[in-house]
Structure 1
């Protein structure tokens, strides 16, 4: 048996070296009202970088304007590069690496907000926007796939050290993986090989665009949390396909459907009242009346994705990032002992951006996050912990 790595030791990720194995996971910041970088967004990422993370992930960098969940979300275009360069410079100045999460919201996009059509594998209803979503054409798929490559090149130009391709949460690519959402009969539907085509093509396109200049991660759903949706058995096969393709340097494992079961990712309390208050009418009324049927509460426990993630770990040799309930040194050490190369933190860093440095200084440090999830609705007004002044 080999000794597990020290989570605080430098680690290689593709062509880059991180100062430690702790990544700030993508958390939509709600700080880009004009779809461009702001000083508030820079500070949002500078603080956990100063607080000790090895890499901070900027979310959500849409690859196309209709790929935003709402109109204020940042999308990758030349006009965004100067601001993104200021952002990466600020992260680098604190000794951390910077990653850009690239993706397309697909059926999760709010076309009422963006003014552009939301796209899904098949025609369906979006309970968030209360509108029908049209089925993506082959031309749409080709365009969005190419846009991933363009966005990746812009990320390199902006000074990012890594890109993370979003294949989770029933966004565009993840929706194609889902048997529940993908009812197509062409080469993008039916068999898993067909349903995985969008994922594999996007990853290959990004690899072709950037080569080995930056690290490439993919955020992959293990379980949609929806009956009839994408589940672990197929996630194992997709992980193997991505490994076979050689298109990514690591996988960050996740779960849940932003479209149909958002709380499955987060675990803990379900802040239905707070979500309703953050929504415009008539969505607010819909959340008030039916929110509990969509926003479920799931018991929280530390390392709550570990059982699923073990199955991926046993199937591939690719470096893996363990997300979900990583809040202390004990959890980090468990992840290392289980064979994961990196860990990712999100909510705990909203509460305490300096948590990583504090854990490094005192291994018994415990996170102050109580998993109330009241931070989730704040993405519409600037993501934050509501317990912090």
Structure 2
């Protein structure tokens, strides 16, 4: 399989665009910052690809949608929100040093957005290609999920530009993930004068933490991890309230159902305690089967590239759960997602952009409408 294009991919231009994106900070839920960020993303897309990038308003900030026209065939999926608060850039500015780019959001996932756009710019023909860059991936995609699913169904193949796995691996499977919050209500009392008159919400929460941790099944890929807890008001009062936050990761739909049922059926250990559970496994698992066809194409274009299943979730979980072929981890090669040492390897940027070019050409050649295989592939 060969790649044909009339345009070259230039790393200097990619770095210029990456700097522009990084220097417009875009923390999730900050509507003003996200509006500015969406504007910069839209400008980059229009400048490199032509046409019009539309801002799709939502309660959490604008998503960016662009279409190359024609019948939809490929959805390029990403997000422009980041996890870093405003002011991070002043402490950790965009910097190029010894072959690495650093700065807030470079790996997750602004570098991937730049690679995607520049890879598409190298195509002679961009018809059938859509780009969707959402504003709320880092906080669960509650305001973008329906749009993501709509465009994935319409296009029939999805390329996700989250950061690559270790060594540049593509992400061929992801665990489903969710967050649960357990609220415990007991009764306050003086801890010295009459502790027996109280109902200790902290003691109840401790029992529940042990019960919840026991739901893990590492052999099945399921982890249930209590991550935060709070209780009490002062040191001499039986705590009347406690909360526990729990991170859940699952590999299969069956385990998702088991965990959600277990949370729904939690019962108190102490008398006169009330328990309220909120949450769900919001991102369904992304099975390896969802990526098989696209991963085969990628390996033809980039021989030796590995595929890995990872514990983190992305918007690719939603599209894979629909049965739409989905390949993830096509973004920047680097590391340190959500950390101060986040970085992108510069030498990998051009090859990854060219992979985008080749994948889009291959999908249009080998997939029928809405991702249906050609007769020879059935």
TM-score by length of 1: 0.26
Q: Which has the higher contact order (CA 8 A, sep 6+)?
A: 2
Structure 1 or 2: larger strand share? 2
TM-score by length of 2: 0.26
Larger Rg: 2
